[in-house]
């Protein structure tokens, strides 16, 4: 769809790992009739592609070349989430492996990778009617969005939530391992030179520690009514 008079402005949601951005953002998008884009999946796809091609993820030049050669596309799935293809193959199910988790912050810190991803994200944002979730959406990708949300929660709360998800799917992982891997990622994401994780100056910061999933979705829906 090209930009039309009826297209409504894009909405930005940022926050640290496991802050609930993706699950909340997806449900919120359904509520307000928007598309949803989890931009973390795009950096994960670049990581998966680099690893598949035997690229050392700490070699930023090699990572950049692999990203330039990668053909990827993002589509909507039937549950309001995203499907990612790399060189024609649907790789969505590979993108949350521990191997990708452990390497994605290094890949996402490479400037050339960010240029490629941000260009595609801005193209999609230009179509309007989209909730975009990531780390730099409100600060870099669509700083003019009329609604910018920064979702956060304490590290321990986030680790407990992720641990519960793993247990529900029958995966046995130690809570402390989840906590340390998450904290490592947060540190890299928020201390990198290019587009570090931080709330935009005019973002609405929401601490979800003592809020339920539905309460957060309700709150975002109320905020959206103020601007749409």
Q: Which residues bind ligand DC (CB under 6 A)?
A: 17, 39-40, 43-44, 104-105, 108, 134-137, 185, 189
Q: Which residues contact 14 (CB under 8 A, 6 or more apart)?
A: 21, 133, 134, 135, 136, 137, 138, 139, 148, 149, 150, 151, 197, 199, 200, 203
What is the rounded distance in angstroms from the CA atom of residue 228 to the CA atom of residue 220? 12
| Distance from C-alpha of 153 to C-alpha of 162, rounded to nearest angstrom | 12
Of the pair 107, 222, the CB lying nearest ligand DC is at 107
Find the shortest distance in angstroms from Cβ 171 to ligand DC.
Answer: 17
Q: What are phi and psi of 86, to 5 degrees?
A: -125, 125
**Cβ neighbours around 178 below 10 Å, total:** 22
- Minimum separation from the CB atom of position 93 to ligand DC (A): 14
- Please state, as a whole number, how many other Cβ atoms lie within 10 Å of the Cβ of residue 188: 16
Task: Supply the minimum distance, in Å, between the C-beta of residue 191 and ligand DC.
Answer: 12
Residue 70: CB minimum distance to ligand DC, A = 15
Nearest to ligand DC of 44, 163 (CB atom): 44
| 2/148 with CB nearer ligand DC | 148
Element (H, E) at 191: helix 175-191
State in angstroms the smallest separation of the CB of 86 from ligand DC.
Answer: 15
Q: Which is nearer to ligand DC, 137 or 220 (CB)?
A: 137
Closer of 58 and 226 to ligand DC (Cβ): 58
DSSP string for 144-169? T-SEEEEEE--HHHHHHHHHHHHHHT
């Amino acid at each position: 769809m090209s930009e039309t008079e009826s297209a409504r402005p894009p909405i930005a949601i940022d926050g640290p790992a496991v802050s609930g951005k993706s699950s909340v953002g997806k449900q919120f998008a359904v509520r307000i009739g928007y598309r949803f884009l989890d931009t973390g999946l795009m950096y994960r796809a670049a990581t998966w592609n680099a690893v598949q091609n035997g690229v050392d993820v700490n070699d930023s030049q090699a990572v950049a070349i692999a990203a330039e050669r990668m053909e990827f596309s993002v589509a909507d799935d039937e549950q309001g989430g995203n499907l990612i293809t790399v060189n024609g193959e649907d790789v969505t199910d590979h993108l949350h492996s521990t191997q990708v988790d452990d390497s994605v912050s290094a890949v996402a810190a490479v400037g050339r990778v960010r240029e490629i991803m941000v260009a595609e994200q801005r193209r999609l944002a230009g179509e309007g009617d989209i909730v975009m979730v990531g780390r730099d959406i409100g600060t870099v990708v669509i700083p003019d969005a009329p609604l910018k949300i920064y979702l956060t929660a304490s590290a321990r709360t986030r680790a407990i939530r992720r641990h519960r998800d793993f247990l529900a799917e029958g995966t046995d992982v130690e809570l402390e391992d989840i906590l340390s891997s998450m904290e490592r990622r947060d540190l890299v994401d928020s201390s990198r030179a290019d587009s570090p994780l931080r709330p935009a100056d005019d973002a609405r910061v929401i601490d979800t520690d003592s809020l339920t999933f539905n309460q957060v979705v309700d709150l975002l829906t109320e905020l959206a009514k103020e601007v749409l």
